[in-house]
Amino acid sequence: MTVKIELPNEFLNDIDNIKKEIATLKLHFQPKQPPTYITRFEVSKMLNVSLVTLNKWNKNGKLKAVGIGGRVLYRQEDINNSIVEL
């Protein structure tokens, strides 16, 4: 004996809306990337400036350096964000 259950239209509409929302989220979903860190030397070569200039920019707040174990590193995202179009 099989029992057939009728679902209300309102419930079915909610399910359809949820499916559409999930499809939209899948289209725009971007997995979170871990930050990329680069050395002072790499940044100076990339921006074609001296290490002294990088140090000044760090003190002035133009670039934000981070460090670990005595090493000075820069986040790639911070460098990209600090470059402005003229």
**What would the 3-class secondary structure string for the chain be?**
CCCCCCCCHHHHHHHHHHHHHHHHHHHHCCCCCCCCEEEHHHHHHHHCCCHHHHHHHHHHCCCCEEEECCEEEEEHHHHHHHCCCC
Q: Give the pLDDT confidence score for residue 1 in this predicted structure.
A: 63
User: Which ranges of the chain have pLDDT less than 70?
Assistant: 1, 3, 7, 86
Mean pLDDT of the chain: 87
Q: Give the pLDDT confidence score for residue 7 in this predicted structure.
A: 67
Q: Give the pLDDT confidence score for residue 2 in this predicted structure.
A: 72
Q: Give the pLDDT confidence score for residue 9 in this predicted structure.
A: 79
